[in-house]
Amino acid sequence: QVQLVQSGGGLVQAGDSLRLSCAASGRTFRSYAMGWFRQAPGKEREFVAAINWSGGIYADSVKGRFIISRDNAKSTLYLQMSSLKPEDTAVYYCAGSPRSALTTDVYDYWGQGTQVTVSS
């Protein structure tokens, strides 16, 4: 069992940057594929980015603006968000999969979610 605890988020202006963190319990973090998702009001949850031992992948909407990274020594996942836009406003969730392959949709463990609001 893995628990994911998120931190970060908040209210920022368009063009600002923000970093989200996701701390994982357990000693198997380094073997997990990890991802970030978001859900805007009235919309379905959507994939943002994912990372495993080989690298990362991104949704087209955030490519070039967001960077996913991980610190295996700290069992922590990060999402560095830059050049934020109002359409990035959403609740952001981190997720973990014991299947190490990169995936955009199959995750077993989820964080509690954190609100990111970008004002214009």
Where does the pLDDT of residue 88 fall: very low under 50, low under 70, confident under 90, or very high at 90 and above? very high
User: Residue 26's pLDDT is what?
Assistant: 76
**Mean of pLDDT values over 8-16:** 97
Where does the pLDDT of residue 1 fall: very low under 50, low under 70, confident under 90, or very high at 90 and above? confident
Q: Is the pLDDT of residue 4 over 80?
A: yes
Q: Is the pLDDT of residue 103 over 90?
A: no
Single-letter residue type at 26: G
Where does the pLDDT of residue 91 fall: very low under 50, low under 70, confident under 90, or very high at 90 and above? very high
For residues 35 and 40, what is the distance between their CA atoms, to the nearest angstrom? 17
For residues 42 and 97, what is the distance between their CA atoms, to the nearest angstrom? 26
For residues 99 and 112, what is the distance between their CA atoms, to the nearest angstrom? 21
Question: What pLDDT digit, counting tens, does each position of 27-62 carry?
Answer: 788 899 999 999 999 999 999 999 999 999 999 999
Residues 6+ apart with CB under 8 A from 48: 35, 36, 37, 38, 58, 59, 62, 66, 68, 79, 92
Return the exposure string of 89-107: e unless at least 16 CB atoms fall within 10 Å of the residue's CB, then b.
bbbbbbbbbeeeebbeeeb
